[in-house]
Amino acid sequence: MTSQKRSRSFASHTATYAIGNIARRVVGFAMLPIYTRFLTPADYGVVGLLAFALALFEPLFGARLGWAIPKFYFDAPDSRGKRAVIWSALGLTGAASVVSVALLILVRGMGAEVLFGDRKYALDLGVFAITLLSQPIEQTGMTYLRLRERSGLFLGFSMVKLVLQLGLNLLLVVYWEQGVLGVVLSAVISSIVLGIGSTIYVSIHEAPAFDWQLTRKMIQFCWPMWLSGLAGLYIGSSGAVFLRMFATLGDVGRLELAVKFSSVAGALIWSPFFQHWEPMSYQYHKEEGGRRKFQVAFITISALMFAGGMGISIFSAPVIKVMATKPFYAAAAVVPIVTLGFIVNSLRQFFNFSFFVTANTKIHSLCQYGTAGVITVAYLLLVPRFGLMGAALAQTLAFAINFIFVRYLSRRYYDPGFNLAPLGLFALIGAAAYVCSNVLFHASSLEIDLLVKSLVSLIAIALMGLVGIRSIQAVQGTSLESLPWPLDRLGRIQLGRQSGG
């Protein structure tokens, strides 16, 4: 395949994954006007705490092998080995998750009292526990589609889940007014349907195969990741717990709304990119010039993430005022801080590759637990004094420290030569644009406000694009083949002008 065809293929798959991710995430945004009218901030906080509790429980007791699938799939010497990778992940994850679901259902009353201080949410917790089984199965099937580059089918499954979950939300939350339980049921049912559908697809195309020695290797690779995943989820979500302890459930709900907005850049830009990049990075690592491909990809996605995050931060306040009720308005103030943390935490995953490809997953786990300690201290210092803003600052501080430390440590194992200077410029441009449009300027009407914000955003995006292109020019021109089309063509045009061609 020629470099232009490869870049077009990369762009095509990434765009399809982006649409799929939009479909999978759009339910939360489409339902925001309804959630904020049929649910109180405290109810919305309960939904967030449920997601946090199950996500925290899953890595330790779900025996998920998803982290090992890309590496072992591409390392497998033959088709039977590849089939064994997929079915080992499905089998072990499914068996362990069934036990975990049963256990959590049995202790749902006690769990609700510990988590919410009230046993009335025991049913919600018990029902939501089913996702401990359905989500890992669903994600394994979707990972298989990514490995086979079936991005169109990935989109199809995502659209089915979108329609189903949206319909169930309208039925259960709006029509039957089931509140938190309605939100939980719609998430569980749609996840079960997608998990069953993706598993059926795998079984049609891949005959079952099992290799105990391979499974042992996958477990050895993943067990530090289960522990680090536990720490990672604590780092990313424990702000809700500290807010409940030192503030109110209402603040938990406002933090969840801010996170919903802040995660848009991840859903629309990072996730589709990384869903294609993650499995392919193991291939690029083995190719000649692989380090240059890592460098160009890092600069490109960093520019896109900072540009997207800047737009989210600038427009979050007017959008929240339109979509939500007044008790939720305070969420807009912390969106820029949380967004910056999400961007830094996403880009940190580039450095994690060094640990994964060399099978040093224990180091990744240690880094996560060190960061968990940092964020705990930050929450204890900042949340009692600053409340919602303190939780946002503590989380972003922890992500930044983790980013710096993992970057430093990863270079000992595999160093593609990432240049971090453009990140500082992207952040500076984004911060300046936010201050200009949201702090220094106050419009008398919504129309003028949106116009000014749009103009400032366009100027800032152009500056970020210029920084990105100049940074890519610092990398050898041959690595432009790594860029998604048409960015590769834009880069070649710039290089041609620079050389006088």
Under a CB-based contact definition with an 8 Å cutoff, are residues 65 and 218 in contact?
yes
Q: Tokens for 398? A: 């922890």
DSSP string spanning 183-199?
A: HHHHHHHHHHHHHHHHH
Give the H/E segment covering residue 317: helix 290-323
pLDDT at 307: 94
Please answer whether residues 447 and 436 qualify as being in contact, where contact means their C-beta atoms are separated by less than 8 angstroms.
no
Q: What's the pLDDT at 12?
A: 61
Q: What gap in Å lies between CA 317 and CA 320, rounded to an integer?
A: 5
Q: What is the pTM of this model?
A: 0.65
442 phi, psi to nearest 5 deg: -130, 110
Q: Which residues neighbour 77 within 8 Å (Cβ) at sequence distance 6 or greater?
A: none
Ranges assigned E (strand) in 8-134: none
Angle at Cα 420 formed by Cα 415 and Cα 424, nearest 5°? Answer: 165
The pLDDT tens digits along the chain (501 residues) read 445 555 555 556 556 665 665 655 555 566 666 666 777 777 777 777 777 666 666 655 544 666 677 778 877 878 888 888 888 888 877 777 788 788 888 888 887 877 777 788 788 888 888 887 888 888 788 888 877 777 778 778 878 887 888 888 888 887 787 778 888 888 889 889 988 888 888 888 888 887 788 888 887 777 666 666 667 667 766 787 788 788 877 888 888 888 888 887 777 788 778 877 877 787 777 777 778 888 888 999 999 999 999 999 999 888 888 877 788 888 899 999 999 999 998 999 889 888 888 878 788 778 888 888 999 999 999 999 999 999 999 999 999 998 999 999 988 888 888 889 999 999 999 999 999 998 888 777 888 888 999 999 999 999 999 999 988 888 755 444 444 444 444 444 444 444 444
The CA-atom distances, in angstroms, between 374 and each of 129, 239, 267, 367 are 29, 13, 27, 11
303, 379 in Cβ contact below 8 A? no
Rounded CA separation 66/75 (Å): 15
What angle, 0 to 180 degrees and rounded to 10, lies between the N-to-C axes of helices 41-61 and 179-205?
30
For residue 442, what is the DSSP state? -
Token pair of 423 as six digits: 């990140």
Tokens of 245: 């302890």
The pLDDT value recorded for residue 17 is 60
C-alpha–C-alpha distance, residues 103 and 288, integer Å? 49
Judged by phi (left if over 0) then psi (alpha if -120 to 50, else beta), residue 417 lies in left
Q: How far is CA 279 from CA 22, 86, 190, 426, 500, in A?
A: 21, 14, 26, 27, 38
**193, exposed or middle or buried, with CB in 10 Å at 0-12, 13-18, 19+?**
middle
Candidates 358, 376, 355, 379; CA nearest to 367 is: 355
Q: In sequence order, what are the residues at sequence separation of 6 or more whose Cβ sits closer than 8 angstroms to the Cβ of residue 435?
A: none
The C-alpha atoms of residue 465 and residue 420 are separated, in whole angstroms, by 16
What's the distance, CA 72 to chain centroid?
23
- Please check whether residue 464 is in contact with residue 429, taking contact to mean a CB–CB distance below 8 angstroms: yes
d(CA 331, CA 313): 11
Terminal Cα distance for the chain, rounded: 26
> What pLDDT does residue 13 have?
57
Residue 115's contacts (CB-CB under 8 Å, 6 or more residues apart) are: 49, 50, 53, 121, 125
CA distance linking residue 375 with residue 382, whole number of Å: 10
For residue 308, give both structure tokens: 């997207």
- Report the alpha-carbon distance of residue 117 to residue 352 in Å, rounded: 37
CB environment 150-166: b (16+ within 10 A), e (fewer): bbebbbebbeebbebbb
Task: Please spell the DSSP secondary structure of 322-387, one letter per residue.
Answer: HHS-GGGGGGGGGHHHHHHHHHHHHHTHHHHHHHHHTT-HHHHHHHHHHHHHHHHHHHHHHHHHHT
Give the helix ranges, DSSP H, for 206-247.
Answer: 212-237, 239-246
